Amino acid sequence: MGRGRLIVYLGAAQGVGKTWAMLNEGHRRAGRGSDVVIGVVESHDRPLTQRMAEGLETVPRQEIVDCERAFTEMDIDATLQRHPTVALVDELAHTNVPGARNEKRWQDVEELLNAGINVITTVNIQHLESLNQVVESITGIKQRETIPDAVVRRADQVELIDMSPEALRRRLAHGNVYPPERIDAALANYFRAGNLTALRELALLWVADRVDEVMEKYRQAHDIDATWPTRERASWSPSQAAPKARP
């Protein structure tokens, strides 16, 4: 049995529609006859996301008690035993609670992939380790949960889920991202137009850099020496200066 394929839906920020896109792809594949299950979906009580998850089989979560409090995480053993063709696993950078088999969700995903299960997952650009300090300089907020860039780079497919800052702020204002009591603070802080523009630029540049890497591997594999007349390449690396957030 070969290794499963990994598809990552990458976004610039919460609320751009990564989870919805993942679930939509799950429905599409199930409609074609593929065996699809939800390993874990973090709906954050968003009605649109919850409705989108309906109709797909969900593997019940595992309950873990930590400090006399009960938490739930993806049940790796149950998912492995179920062994679907495709598992939908939300929030790849998530840190599992103490007592789980693996510290990070991406390590759970590695187990599924090694068992030959295809995984579709989601992650935001601010969680990539190489961009941790860059994102902090933009937003003023240090990300607690990070994931090695290599985990995302070795995915078989990375899809950018894009949305303009204006559209995302409207979605937030309409209550489609956070509950009403959190909207004003989010719009005035993390979801400022300048922050979202800079994060979107980071996401676009990171994906462009990966596309360039994939193209170079293709040229090498096919012994193509000539330079192709594609668009001007985006010259960027995580060590360069961060895009400046604007108010």
In this structure, is residue 231 part of a structural domain? no
In this structure, is residue 14 part of a structural domain? yes
Percent of the chain with pLDDT over 90: 76
In this structure, is residue 232 part of a structural domain? no
In this structure, is residue 22 part of a structural domain? yes
> Model confidence over 158-172: pLDDT tens digits?
999 999 999 999 999
In this structure, is residue 136 part of a structural domain? yes
In this structure, is residue 217 part of a structural domain? yes
Structural domain boundaries, residue 13: 6-221
> Model confidence over 12-57: pLDDT tens digits?
999 999 999 999 999 999 999 999 999 999 998 888 899 999 999 9
Assign 68 a pLDDT band (cuts: 50, 70, 90): confident
Q: What is the DSSP string of the chain?
A: -PPPPEEEEEESSTTSSHHHHHHHHHHHHHHTT--EEEEE---TT-HHHHHHHTTSEEPPPEEEEETTEEEEE--HHHHHHH--SEEEE--TTPBPPBTBSSSBHHHHHHHHHHTT-EEEEEEEGGGBGGGHHHHHHHHS---S--B-HHHHHTSSEEEEE---HHHHHHHHHTTSSS-HHHHHHHHHTTT-HHHHHHHHHHHHHHHHHHHHHHHHHHHHHTT--SPP--SPPP---TTSPPPPP--
In this structure, is residue 1 part of a structural domain? no
In this structure, is residue 102 part of a structural domain? yes
CATH of residue 127's domain is 3.40.50.300
Token code pair at residue 108? 């759970």
Number of separate domains in the chain: 1
